[in-house]
Amino acid sequence: MAKEEKNYVNKEREDEMEIYGYKQCLWKLVLVAIGVVCTGGFLLLLLYWMPEWSVKATCTQTSLKEAEIVLLRTTDEFKTWFRVKVYTVFFPGTDPMENSAPRVSKTMENDEGARAAQHHVEHRKKKFLRKISENKAFMVRYFEHHSVTYFWNNFLQNFKDLEGLTEGISWSVIHSHHSKGLSKDLEEYRRLFFGANEVEVKVPSVFKLLIDEQYIMLHDMVAAHSTVRVSVCRPDNEIEETLSTDLVPGDILVIPSNGTVMPCDSVLLSGTCIVNESMLTGESVHQTKINLPNPVKMSKGLEDDEIYSPEKHKRHTLFCGTTVIQTRFYSGELVKALVVRTGFGTTKGKLVRSILYPKPTDFKLYRDAYFFLLCLVGVAGIGFLYTIINSVLNEVRVGTIIIKSLDIITITVPPALPAALTAGIVFAQRRLKKLGISCISPQRINICGQLNLVCFDKTGTLTEEGLNIWGIQRVEDNSFLPSEHNICREALVKSHFVACMAACHTLTKIDGKLSGDPLDLKIFEETGWVLEEATEEETALHNQIMPTVVRPSKQLYPEPVAVMDHEMEMYDLPASYEIGIVRQFPFSSSLQRMSVVARVLGEKHMDAYLKGAPEVVANLCKAETVPESFPEVLKIYTKQGFRVIALAHKKLGSRLTWHKVQNVSRDAIESNMEFMGLIIMQNKLKPDSSRVLEELRKANIRTVMVTGDNMLTAVSVARNSGMILPQDKVIIAEALPPKDGQTAKIHWLYADNASRHLDTSDTASEFIDIKMENKGSGDGLHQMNHYHFAMDGKSFSVVTEHFQDLLSKLVLHGTVFARMAPDQKTQLVEAFQNIDYYVGMCGDGANDCGALKQAHSGISLSELEASAASPFTSKFSDIACVPNLIREGRAALMTSFCVFKFMALYSIIQYLSVTLLYSELSNFGDLQFLFIDLAIILVIVFTMSLNAAWKELVPQKLPSGLISPSMLFSVMSQILISAVFQITSFLLVKQQTWYEVWTPNSDACSSSKLNVTLEHNNTSSQDEKNIKNYENTTVFFISCFQYLIVAIVYSKGKPFRQPTYENYPFMVTVLVLHIFIFLIMLYPVEVIDEALELVCVPYNWRITMLIIIIINAVASFVTEIFLLDLTPWKLLSKRKELGVSHNPANNHQEVLNQKSKSCLSSFFSCGYRKPKAKYMYLAQELSVDPDWPPKPKTTTEANKNHTENGACQIITIM
């Protein structure tokens, strides 16, 4: 076989896949068909589960160009295979973005093309296809995978998805070539490729809906916005109404003035829009969208031209599913937007796809479950062979041999196991719902039980969403004035500082109420000014957008007098003092600033105002206007947990007209500013934050802060909240990228503890002795070494690029990550996962979506539709949901372990019973099987899953998988006990004096102490299946009680679940079953015995069985409770997980001593074991590294020369 050609689709994207081409092979198909028949369909099932085997068993490899089947494999760690069929249709062209409408003529008669088209296109497409002449039709090949269609690209010689108008199209091209709209023929042609503009979520069967609410939520979410009526522009300026499902990339959409729900991704060509993007971002703040600039009309012309990207140019993009609340427009010109993406290609479509087709959950429990099932299959194989050999030796009929041998397989491998494991998750999901936590990914509930690290956003998560202004500190003559707390006073009304506070925002009025970013709103309200917007009628009278106007309230505005104060630049103002906002540059999280261009009524010049992060604003200002004490003053406030905003101003030239301002670049405005001062804002902790963080700390669950705020502010909040304890030290890693031929470097600064004192002395680099204290337990090794790393987003980027060897060490003790961009938050979560942490992420939904999706368990504190990106959503906006979720996750995980062990024991016990009876050519009767499976197993499984979570988080942690010493000992010991007592009773009954081969005339009860004689029909025919016999009755009663015994033994309570005696349904079920089985065993009822095909045995044998059952129960309880739960097994398990003593040594010799002293006194291995988790092993290595953590006032440089493994050598300079 030729070597497979390796190609990729979605190259260098998150969903990158390898793709291989295959053609169906007739002789292989025939062989597989024969195999399917011979195996009774089992081969077909196996090939369905294994797409790679399926393709290679039925196809031969070929080039992608000729492929009938493509085999896809993801390039992530899961390497998942998919088999997809390639379809062929005939279209009038092969490039959907052709601007020339296809020529249409007579009907095309091509049966094969018509049949294929029925699969791909709806009715309107088929009508259009019938118009295409045969000589103008082109063959188009495509396949569909995960709701995305991939078309064959002749140029690339590969399949490629369609990205609409987002591939390498510049601003100028959008305005010059795509701003006129599409003709109807061209629209129909593009619809052949792009399909209907809808995000369709197929609703599965009713049974699946009962288990999984995700599809209901998604279906409801997309159904509300699936189809709306829209207006589109044609090239002849004709406005036409159509359905949103008919839209294709290139259509020009008219946005109505009263707003609409966006049915697609579009770029705004004219006008402005106020948009609610909560569906995508979780942010309830309304966003202002401005039209895409036309480089031709800009000051620098095509020099300012850029390649359009919806993700990069969000302020110009209207995303699908978001709500346009209000529009503003030019006189006589409509607000128009160009459709760039439709259907599942939109941002909303991608979000829905990520939920419909999530990455496989890499959880050890599930991997071990598959391995355990394979073991059961092996056991079943042994029983299968034994049954065949035993039956052949006893000359059993072939039909009976086949039935019995297949029976043993179904008995050993329980088909009800998936449903049993699902039950605990469903009950946990219901309990979470009562706690105000909704879940759209139930399989992640179990993973929550393993979380050992939780990342928290700061603003809106740990702290209150709203901010209070503490005061301001203005700058005069290049120095700071004393802080001021009263802003609403006459002396400041006409200052540029207050003008900046009042004008530099994106606030708007919706239904007469101010709306916008809470920070902007708070600052504006503090000024006491009012905002007025032009009405639609006023706007229609002008050739330009009427500006938003801000002015002081009547109470603030003084009588107009001439003022000559050198601190004020505004004087001799007219009686009506107003500021018009001419142009806005909205806040950008990547730029960390916003600005506006404004004009005071009556002035001939305009002013630019800038607001943003202090470090960013200072860099954009003239150096002579920034006070020398700026770093020290900023440090004073940020150390106390204040949020600081800097303001700047620039007077623009009088030649800059209104129209020129609309086309000037942002960089030209935001440069050479004059620094004006600081706004100091308080961000208070939420009431529950400190308590919850303390609870997590006590449970050995690490907590990390990931925020977009200032570094020192974040450190202060971390200290105040208890995330960093008072005695712990903070090391700031300040990484600098390579510059001027110098290598990348990291400066290590030890932050001082004076977080609550207004001391301007620079103690940031004081030497601090770090002592390793013997505190903490469990897997919280980070708690032993009381130091924490803190870094900002820029440093994180440098470390990830130039210091890969240090990254894992830094994140091991990293607690505060400030100024982090949304993609950096995702990278940080991934970095934690790479060292084997189970990571939770808790955020308010704004800019946290990527991290929420990347984490093992993402918890959104927003109830908005953006929560669909997060597996869990809390109805309450505080972090109290985190311990609740972990507690329920632990309870669900413990339930899964209990249920799995119980189902494994149920299978093995029944396997032993049937194998013993097979030796006598007997078996359980149909009603006996039914009684065991329905009355005992099914009821027990569902009721034992009802244990609620324990009320506290404890330091102990659950094993992550089934392959652990304690789990294996538990299962194997119970199997051994069950086998011993079953075999003992089976052999013992044969030794009884009354024993004989049972016949319908047998009456072993006549001499018993129980004066009950059952009537037998002496004339009845011999039992052909040999169900009724003494062995069957004995094994049936013993096994029934064994099911109940292991159910009670495995139904664990504290410390992860409520005690079993509080699970009333389970207790009632077990009690009723015990009573019932005891009654029919000790006091047989003829009707029940006949139904269950039981025979009468002497009373003394019944008492003997009771004694055997009691001894069995005692043995099971003693083994599980005393030999497993209360002995060194816990220590052995803990030692295996930690791999190091809880007393970290300061040098290598002390570590060796600890190893020798900590050997278990049990007969199990007492040698030193390397921890499995990477972060534990790393912590163990660092505990004996004399050079870690780096000493204060040192610098670490990356060597230019790379080592053989590609890592950078690290050089530390004192």
What does the pLDDT look like over 181-220, one tens digit per residue?
888 888 888 888 888 888 876 655 544 444 444 455 555 5
The C-alpha atoms of residue 104 and residue 1200 are separated, in whole angstroms, by 63
The C-alpha atoms of residue 1018 and residue 397 are separated, in whole angstroms, by 27
- For residue 854 the two structure tokens come to 């990347």
The C-alpha atoms of residue 1091 and residue 1110 are separated, in whole angstroms, by 26
- 262-282 pLDDT, tens digit each: 889 999 988 888 888 766 655
**Facing residues of 732 across strands?**
749, 790
Asked if the model's pLDDT at residue 1023 lies above 70, the reply is no
Q: Does residue 965 have a cis bond before it (omega within 30 degrees)?
A: no
Whole-number pLDDT of residue 1212:
55
> Could you give the C-alpha distances from 327 to 531, 681, 923, 1053, in angstroms and in order?
17, 32, 78, 59
Whole-number pLDDT of residue 1012:
41
CA-derived radius of gyration, the chain: 37
Asked if the model's pLDDT at residue 1156 lies above 60, the reply is no
- 821-848 pLDDT, tens digit each: 777 888 899 899 888 899 999 887 656 7
Element (H, E) at 365: helix 364-393
> Chain centroid to CA 87: how far?
34
Report the pLDDT averaged over residues 1075-1091.
90
- Detail the DSSP E strand segments found in 1052-1205: 1194-1202
The closest of 620, 618, 524 to 579, measured between CA atoms, is 524
DSSP string spanning 983-1021? HHHHHHHHTSTT-----TT--TTTTSSS-------TTSP
Asked if the model's pLDDT at residue 1201 lies above 80, the reply is no
Q: Count of H helices and E strands in the chain?
A: 40, 42
> Chain centroid to CA 512: how far?
38
Neighbours of 212 (CB within 10 A): 18
The closest of 725, 833, 735 to 792, measured between CA atoms, is 735
How confident is the prediction for the chain on average, in pLDDT? 78
- 706-765 pLDDT, tens digit each: 987 777 778 888 888 889 888 888 888 988 888 877 888 888 888 754 333 333 333 333
pLDDT higher at 1006 or 14: 14
Long-range pairs, 62-65, Cβ under 8 A, ≥24: 62/21, 62/22, 62/23, 63/5, 63/21, 64/5, 64/7, 64/19, 64/20, 64/21, 64/152, 64/157, 64/158, 64/159, 65/21, 65/152, 65/157
Q: At 302, is the pLDDT very low, low, confident or very high (cuts 50, 70, 90)?
A: low
Report the pLDDT averaged over residues 862-873.
65
Q: Residue 746: what are its φ and ψ, rounded to 5°?
A: -125, 125
Whole-number pLDDT of residue 176:
86
Whole-number pLDDT of residue 126:
53
Asked if residues 1109 and 1118 have their Cβ atoms less than 8 Å apart, the reply is: no
Residue from 457, 520, 792, 878 carrying the catalytic annotation: 457
Angle at the Cα of 234 from the Cα atoms of 232 and 237, rounded to 5 degrees: 105
Question: Alpha-carbon torsion 1067, 1073, 1076, 1077, what sign?
Answer: negative
The C-alpha atoms of residue 1019 and residue 502 are separated, in whole angstroms, by 105
The C-alpha atoms of residue 1053 and residue 1048 are separated, in whole angstroms, by 11
Q: How many residues does the chain have?
A: 1214
Angle at the Cα of 564 from the Cα atoms of 560 and 568, rounded to 5 degrees: 90
- 927-952 pLDDT, tens digit each: 998 999 889 998 999 899 898 998 88
Whole-number pLDDT of residue 99:
55
The C-alpha atoms of residue 798 and residue 1208 are separated, in whole angstroms, by 13
Asked if residues 922 and 400 have their Cβ atoms less than 8 Å apart, the reply is: no
Asked if the model's pLDDT at residue 885 lies above 90, the reply is yes
Angle between helices 1030-1050 and 1099-1117 (to 10 degrees): 30
Helix, strand, coil % in the chain, rounded to nearest 5? 40, 20, 40
Whole-number pLDDT of residue 867:
54
Asked if the model's pLDDT at residue 973 lies above 70, the reply is yes
Whole-number pLDDT of residue 558:
52
The C-alpha atoms of residue 335 and residue 229 are separated, in whole angstroms, by 16
Edge to edge, what strands does the sheet with 158-161 contain?
A: 87-91, 138-145, 148-153, 158-161
The C-alpha atoms of residue 1112 and residue 1040 are separated, in whole angstroms, by 12
Report the pLDDT averaged over residues 540-550.
60
The C-alpha atoms of residue 665 and residue 656 are separated, in whole angstroms, by 13
Whole-number pLDDT of residue 23:
93
DSSP string spanning 532-555? E---HHHHHTSSSPPPEEEEE-TT
The closest of 197, 180, 326, 171 to 264, measured between CA atoms, is 197
**Facing residues of 149 across strands?**
144
- 845-864 pLDDT, tens digit each: 656 777 888 888 888 886 65
Query: In this predicted structure, which of 655-669, 895-909, 1124-1138 has the lowest mean pLDDT?
Result: 1124-1138
Asked if the model's pLDDT at residue 771 lies above 50, the reply is no
The C-alpha atoms of residue 1044 and residue 1033 are separated, in whole angstroms, by 17
pLDDT higher at 361 or 40: 40
Q: By percentage, how much of the chain surpasses pLDDT 70?
A: 78
Cα-based torsion angle of the residue sequence 1117, 1119, 1121, 1126 in order, rounded to the nearest 10 degrees: 160
pLDDT higher at 919 or 333: 919
- Detail the DSSP E strand segments found in 1078-1119: none
- For residue 890 the two structure tokens come to 């632990």
Whole-number pLDDT of residue 1013:
39
**Facing residues of 598 across strands?**
581, 607
Q: At 104, is the pLDDT very low, low, confident or very high (cuts 50, 70, 90)?
A: very low
**Facing residues of 336 across strands?**
254
Residues with Cβ within 8 Å of 328's Cβ and at least 6 positions away in sequence, in order, are 271, 272, 273, 335, 539, 545
Report the pLDDT averaged over residues 574-589.
77
Asked if residues 978 and 723 have their Cβ atoms less than 8 Å apart, the reply is: no
SS3 readout for 14-83: CCCEEEEEEEECHHHHHHHHHHHHHCCCHHHHHHHHCHHHHHHHHEEEECHHHCCEEEEEECCCCCCEEE
- Cα diameter, the chain: 127
DSSP string spanning 1026-1049? ---SHHHHHHHHHHHHHHHHHHHH
Residues with Cβ within 8 Å of 648's Cβ and at least 6 positions away in sequence, in order, are 500, 609, 610, 611, 617, 620, 621, 673, 674, 675, 676
Element (H, E) at 523: helix 518-527
The C-alpha atoms of residue 931 and residue 469 are separated, in whole angstroms, by 71
Long-range pairs, 237-245, Cβ under 8 A, ≥24: 244/197, 245/196, 245/197, 245/198
Q: Residue 552: what are its φ and ψ, rounded to 5°?
A: -65, 150
The C-alpha atoms of residue 916 and residue 986 are separated, in whole angstroms, by 8
pLDDT higher at 236 or 475: 475
Asked if residues 512 and 455 have their Cβ atoms less than 8 Å apart, the reply is: no
Whole-number pLDDT of residue 1139:
40
Q: Are strands 607-612 and 229-233 parallel, antiparallel or unpaired?
A: unpaired
Asked if the model's pLDDT at residue 147 lies above 50, the reply is yes
Whole-number pLDDT of residue 978:
93
Long-range pairs, 30-33, Cβ under 8 A, ≥24: 32/57, 32/58
The C-alpha atoms of residue 763 and residue 753 are separated, in whole angstroms, by 9
- For residue 129 the two structure tokens come to 């296809």
Mark whether 457 is an active-site residue: yes
- Detail the DSSP E strand segments found in 714-847: 729-736, 745-751, 787-792, 814-818, 839-843
The C-alpha atoms of residue 114 and residue 126 are separated, in whole angstroms, by 8
Question: Alpha-carbon torsion 1168, 1170, 1176, 1181, what sign?
Answer: positive
